Structure 1
Amino acid sequence: MIIFYEKYFNECIKLNRGFDLPNNKIKEGKYPIVASTNIKAYHEIFKIKGPGVVTGRSGSLGIVQYIADDFWPLNTSLYVKDFKGNNPKYIYYLLQTMNLENFNSGAGVPTLNQNHLHSQKIKIPNLSLQQRIASILSGYDNFIALNNQRIKLLNEITQELYNEWFVRMRFPNYKNTKFAKGIPEDVGEIKYFKDFVKLNRGFDLPEDKIQQGTYPVIASTSIKAYHNEFKVKAPIITTGRSGSLGKVLYVNSNGWPLNTSLYVKDFKGNEPLYVFYTLKQLDLESFNSGAGVPSLNQNHLHKIKLWVADIKLQEKFKKLVEPIFQQIEILEQQKDELQKIRDRLLPRLISGKLKVKPHNEFNKTESTESHQVNDTIERSTEDTKVKSNPFFQRRVLAAHIIDHLKDEPTFGHVKLMKLMYLCEHLVEIETASHYHRDAAGPYDNRMIRSIDSQLKKAQWFECKKTDNKYQYTTLPKKEEYKNWFTKYYIDKEAGIENLLLLFGKEKTEKAEMVATLYEAWRDLKAKKQLPTDQAIIYEVLNNWHESKQRISEERWFKCLQWMKEKNWIT
């Protein structure tokens, strides 16, 4: 039986103030110097043996850091001096749920009040369950960190390519290009900045006016939120106008640049990706004209001269960089979805609302934790016989898809069917289905009818046909499916969310094409025939329903290449 024990904070954790270390005393070494929010530098000696947990004591409160190795916590931080037999990684996650910034006692500089913190009651499980919970959450963190490393590497590749071509001027055929004073003459020209692009101030949008939606709200350094309206069409390139200067962002979707940013209103015939890297290359911070709050001075910026490559060279650069950029976008989306799942799981696991099976033995090697994301969530014994069958599980999956997409104008029976199919084959989820090569195939009419019937019976969702379209409406017990979804699909959620993100707003035909091509590819492999591009398209157009011929061969090929870029088909 899994039990959470209620204890006072100081019975579980002992915090201590960090140690003084003036800047002039730091000697470069391998041990991290941990400040209140980040690792400040590396020193030749350490004060505390790892692993350790550190949070802000003075200045910045609320951020919690896990340090795997020996380290030096600074005097602006608090570190866990005594874990009192608890798992350090679990304590790291526990502190993240406590809103430590609310324990501020500083009149001017924020300061963490340990006296108030020590008197707090917290719920904490036994060590075995602590280790299991820490393992699940660490798995997500490890995947997020891996995505960050991949994104960083891809960004470095694209930046280095820009530098090689347009800083060191070693673009294709540069040896046969005429240079004057180091500037190529026949593949570009010197222009004033104002003739290169036009920047405009972003748009006002008070926080209380933001309505949850899908369009990014872009501040001076990052995406701040998502709104239900947009002001600028994709792609959007922004940089800071006020407050924080220098960072350049590329957002490949419609969005709302805020008034603290400048966005490229007119590319003046230049390739957006070339513009993005050129702006990154400029020292935009140096154009500050604000006496107090930093502000970008466009008048000074407009007067600078820069060499601009001609459009043919820009297009060659785009052709090389764009596929890498698309990989970065996919990794960013996956990272965001993993972060959302991790953030949803964190409070539920720490509070005990979401139950897990503890292992009899726990692998203490942190590097293997990512393999433990595939966690088995405990099912209550009285429901196991009824709820563990694939028919109930596919109902739960369908409910999740419907809940997320029911308000999209393109969503109905066909798209639901296609997403169920793609979940089965791309995310490896059993749906107990038997697909047919119907007009909208692959399609399983009996499955979709069964799902509709069971959803209505469970009082989750009801499907009605209006104007030749199937639409789903919410029923009173809809929230019930969510716990089951987490129990069944905790290890699959990132893959499911990625598919919903990719196809949610797309026309149903896109999902149909992807599912059809995938099934045709599988058919060829099953028949031990070589699944070349031509063979797959021939299979679709000649051996499937004749309605597939309404889509041009060119579009089928284009969709197939898109799938190959995502490594769905090899």
Structure 2
Amino acid sequence: MDNALNLQRLDTFFLLKRGHDLPAQNRKEGKYPVISSSGITGWHNEWKARGPDVVTGRYGTLGKVFYEKSDFWPLNTTLYVYDFKDSYPKFVYYFLKALNFDHLSSAAAVPGLDRNVLHSLKVDFPPLRIQKKIANILSAYDELIDNNNQRINLLEQMAEEIYKEWFVRLRFPGHEQTRIVDGVPEGWEIVRIKNAFDIIGGGTPSTKEKSYWENGTVNWVTPTDITGAPGLFISEVANKITESGLSGSSAKLFPPYSVMMTSRATIGAIGINTQPACTNQGFITCLPNRHFPYTYIASWLKINRPLIDNFATGATFKEIAKTVFKRLKIPKPISPISEKYHKQVEPLYEEINILLQKNKILKQTRDLLLPRLMSGKLSVDHLLAPDN
């Protein structure tokens, strides 16, 4: 809060404590989450802090804040609240999320956060009634986002289950009247990927050439865009390149609803672009066709991720080469079955995309409200919780 008349030290409102050592060899499987500066990293049979509580990183990863409802073990890379005094825990969580940790960290090679520096900050907390109202409004956004994420996970599971039912268990429509010949339904084939659909790689334009990057309009996808995405569909990326960057590199533009698969280090993570895009060289991108629609390719890749990972090689980091990927085998059903599958599953994928877009708007609104509510610039008196 920015009313200078009410500024007090942060430790007037709550107290932070450093987390506790727990070497990996001393961990015993249990029900209590082990939380590091980057989040839950394992489980243990003992706890050190009672939930609900608030945790943030003090070393390594700074700026992430976690609200833990149950008892847990905070590692020594974290700070956790051990005394909320008269403050509302969920408000403390959002307060810390609104803090700018960059100017509080040390200048060491690995960022660090001193709890004494945090404790000495001059801040203004509103009355408990207002704390609860602010926290409840922001929590309503998070709950809607969480509910949508649960629906997204359920829809993805439904799509995978239909794939398994049709193409693994072979209980596709009309299977009762279909003969099995050499282990596959009559009319089907087992083909190599090189004979199933086209695949392309990616590239990185020279970073020394500013004209390849400045005011770029072409989505250039990196593995981080996939692994950090909230769902299958990729509509936004961290970097864009120019048309000259595209033509001046080995990056190749591909159409919407292609299936991008990470092929280095993290093997087999997938994303589906909603706009024309290209990737860096850490991808194999599959181009759908009539026999192999994007819904089929995406489900096959997800289900066969362990198989794909087994074919990856490399000393420094694992990678699956395009030549190796092309030799993998995939079922090719007759066209009517492929088309029926796509027709049945595509609405699930469309609903996933709609929910992702809803979450994007909810997150943007929440992130706009957060600093204004915390600073007192926005009154909560007439502010309503969101409606999905």
* TM-score bracket for this pair, using the shorter chain length: 0.7 to 0.9
TM-superposed CA distance for 1:257, in Å, is 3.5
- Match of residue 278 from structure 1: 300
Letter in 2 for 1:69: S
TM-superposed CA distance for 1:109, in Å, is 4.0
Q: What SS does the aligned partner of 1:33 have?
A: strand
- Match of residue 219 from structure 1: 222
- Cα distance change, pair 122–245 in 1 and its aligned pair in 2 (3 A): farther
1:476-518 deviation digits (Å, cap 9, x = unpaired): xxxxxxxxxxxxxx656x77xxxxxxxxxxxxxxxxxxxxxxx
Letter in 2 for 1:219: T
Residue 373 of structure 2 is aligned to residue 349 of structure 1 = yes
Q: What SS does the aligned partner of 1:246 have?
A: strand
- Match of residue 46 from structure 2: 45
- Match of residue 156 from structure 2: 155
TM-superposed CA distance for 1:228, in Å, is 9.4
Aligned residues: 361
The question of whether the paired residues in 2 share the 8 Å contact of 1:29 and 1:43 is answered with yes
Residue 283 of structure 2 is aligned to residue 261 of structure 1 = yes
TM-superposed CA distance for 1:153, in Å, is 0.8
Q: Distance in 2 between matches of 1:219 and 1:210?
A: 18
Q: Distance in 2 between matches of 1:344 and 1:68?
A: 25
Q: Distance in 2 between matches of 1:254 and 1:298?
A: 21
Alignment of 1:403-418 (within 5 A): none
Residue 189 of structure 2 is aligned to residue 189 of structure 1 = yes
Q: Distance in 1 between matches of 2:379 and 2:23?
A: 46
TM-superposed CA distance for 1:348, in Å, is 1.1
The question of whether the paired residues in 2 share the 8 Å contact of 1:52 and 1:79 is answered with yes
- Cα distance change, pair 81–137 in 1 and its aligned pair in 2 (3 A): same
Residue 296 of structure 2 is aligned to residue 295 of structure 1 = no
TM-superposed CA distance for 1:154, in Å, is 0.9
Q: Distance in 2 between matches of 1:101 and 1:71?
A: 27
- Cα distance change, pair 290–254 in 1 and its aligned pair in 2 (3 A): same
Q: What SS does the aligned partner of 1:249 have?
A: strand
The question of whether the paired residues in 2 share the 8 Å contact of 1:236 and 1:255 is answered with no
Residue 76 of structure 2 is aligned to residue 75 of structure 1 = yes
TM-superposed CA distance for 1:267, in Å, is 3.7
TM-superposed CA distance for 1:95, in Å, is 0.9
Structure 2 gap ranges (5+): 244-252
TM-superposed CA distance for 1:103, in Å, is 3.6
Q: Distance in 2 between matches of 1:173 and 1:100?
A: 60
- Cα distance change, pair 257–121 in 1 and its aligned pair in 2 (3 A): same
- Match of residue 248 from structure 2: none
The question of whether the paired residues in 2 share the 8 Å contact of 1:36 and 1:77 is answered with yes
| Higher relative contact order, structure no. (Cα contacts within 8 Å, ≥ 6 residues apart) | 2
The question of whether the paired residues in 1 share the 8 Å contact of 2:53 and 2:68 is answered with yes
Q: Distance in 1 between matches of 2:81 and 2:130?
A: 20
- Match of residue 321 from structure 1: 345
Structure with the higher helix share, 1 or 2: 1
Q: What SS does the aligned partner of 1:50 have?
A: coil
Alignment of 1:506-545 (within 5 A): none
Letter in 1 for 2:221: I
TM-superposed CA distance for 1:209, in Å, is 2.8
- Cα distance change, pair 301–59 in 1 and its aligned pair in 2 (3 A): same
TM-superposed CA distance for 1:50, in Å, is 1.5
The question of whether the paired residues in 1 share the 8 Å contact of 2:53 and 2:69 is answered with yes
Q: What SS does the aligned partner of 1:124 have?
A: coil
- Match of residue 238 from structure 1: 260
Q: What SS does the aligned partner of 2:117 have?
A: helix
Instruction: Flag as ranges the 4+ runs of structure 1 deviating above 4 A.
Output: 205-208, 210-213, 226-230
Moved more, 59-68 or 110-119: 110-119
Moved more, 245-254 or 151-160: 245-254
TM-superposed CA distance for 1:148, in Å, is 0.5
Letter in 2 for 1:70: D
TM-superposed CA distance for 1:102, in Å, is 4.7
The question of whether the paired residues in 1 share the 8 Å contact of 2:17 and 2:115 is answered with no
- Cα distance change, pair 166–269 in 1 and its aligned pair in 2 (3 A): closer
- Cα distance change, pair 332–212 in 1 and its aligned pair in 2 (3 A): farther
Q: Distance in 2 between matches of 1:290 and 1:97?
A: 42
Q: Percent identity?
A: 34
- Match of residue 202 from structure 2: 202
Q: What SS does the aligned partner of 2:22 have?
A: coil
Indicate which of 326, 331, 353 corresponds to 1:307. Answer: 331
- Match of residue 334 from structure 1: 358
Q: Distance in 2 between matches of 1:340 and 1:187?
A: 50
Q: Distance in 2 between matches of 1:291 and 1:203?
A: 22
The question of whether the paired residues in 2 share the 8 Å contact of 1:18 and 1:77 is answered with yes
Letter in 1 for 2:258: I
- Match of residue 250 from structure 2: none
Q: Distance in 2 between matches of 1:136 and 1:13?
A: 21
Q: What SS does the aligned partner of 2:349 have?
A: helix
The question of whether the paired residues in 2 share the 8 Å contact of 1:196 and 1:268 is answered with no
The question of whether the paired residues in 1 share the 8 Å contact of 2:216 and 2:241 is answered with yes
Q: What SS does the aligned partner of 1:65 have?
A: strand
TM-score (norm 2): 0.82
Q: Distance in 2 between matches of 1:106 and 1:286?
A: 42
TM-superposed CA distance for 1:307, in Å, is 2.4
TM-superposed CA distance for 1:105, in Å, is 3.3
TM-superposed CA distance for 1:296, in Å, is 3.1
The question of whether the paired residues in 2 share the 8 Å contact of 1:178 and 1:186 is answered with yes
TM-superposed CA distance for 1:75, in Å, is 2.4
- Cα distance change, pair 119–144 in 1 and its aligned pair in 2 (3 A): same
